Amino acid sequence: RPGDIYWDRAASVMKEAARYAQDHGVTLGIEAINRYETFLVNTTDQALALMERIDEPNVRVHLDAYHMNIEECDFYTPTKKAIPHLCHFHLSESHRGTPGTGVVDWDGIYKALGEANYQGIVGMESFESVSPAMAAATCMWRSLAESSDQLLRDGLAYLKSLEPKYYR
């Protein structure tokens, strides 16, 4: 469990970066990443806590369903909690393939986003036909779709099919 020295150091550096970024109209998003990639910010609550420590208006939270699948107990609650501070959401499947083909609770995510009428930025983060360097960085050792085009076509169609149910 990281001690205050790590939180203070991260907040101090991010505060400096945020002030510089603010002068250029840039928002910084704190992304909660799973425990296998970092020890500091693994959950939405931790991202929100770091954001509060930084205390700069252009620092927000960035969620990623892939990492949430590993670290969170559900998808609805942390999404709902983050929405007032959300700057971006990676709509990633549990295996980083085509959304709707894994175990991510898309209904929980879309329910929270729809209840808040979230109109911010989202991006489908999935991987297929990646370079050897990207395969190593993301530990993608098998194909998850017939092609990148198929992954994007099917994933986007699935995600768009959820909108009418939750955005009214």
The answer to whether 83 and 45 have CB atoms below 8 angstroms apart is no
Q: Is 16 a catalytic residue?
A: no
| C-alpha distances in Å from residue 105, one per residue of 65, 91, 93 | 9, 11, 9
**DSSP β-bridge partners for residue 90:** 64, 123
- What lies within 8 Å, CB to CB, of 37 at 6+ separation is 67
Residue 89: phi, psi to the nearest 5? Answer: -135, 120
Question: 146-161 burial string, b = 16+ CB within 10 Å, else e?
Answer: eeeeebeebbeebbee
The active-site residue out of 71, 93, 125, 163 is 125
Question: Residue type for 56, please?
Answer: E
Q: Is 37 a catalytic residue?
A: no
Burial category of 89 from C-beta neighbours within 10 Å (exposed 0-12, middle 13-18, buried 19 and up): buried
Residues classed as catalytic: 31, 125
